[in-house]
Amino acid sequence: LLGSIKSNAGHAQAAAGILGLIKVLLAGRHGHIPPTLFSDNPTKKLDWDLTGIRLATKLSEWQPTAGVRYGAVSSFGAGGANAHAIVAMPAEGDT
């Protein structure tokens, strides 16, 4: 599922990347992926069925894989500073 913090909190400029990370960590902790708002009309320039990517348009349960929830956060700066983080979180109750 693909989401964005910008639709939930607006554009936070330099804080956007850390807000995205916080969103993924909280979603993993609670086991639910929050919806991305205002994504009713996704672009037709992407073949959504072919890619397997889906927009998070509603609150969805986040099922772990082998007891772990995996997420990723990307942050793209206007000045060219880009970052990507992959996060692995044990599902609650697992150690």
pLDDT digits (tens, 9 = 90+) for 69-83: 999 999 888 788 889
What's the confidence (pLDDT) of residue 13?
78
Give the predicted TM-score (pTM) of the model: 0.83
Asked if 54 contacts 3 with a C-beta cutoff of 8 angstroms, the reply is no
The rounded Cα 77 to chain-centroid distance in angstroms is 17
Is the confidence at residue 55, as pLDDT, over 80?
yes
Strands (E), 1-95: 32-33, 60-61, 68-76, 82-90
d(CA 75, CA 85): 9
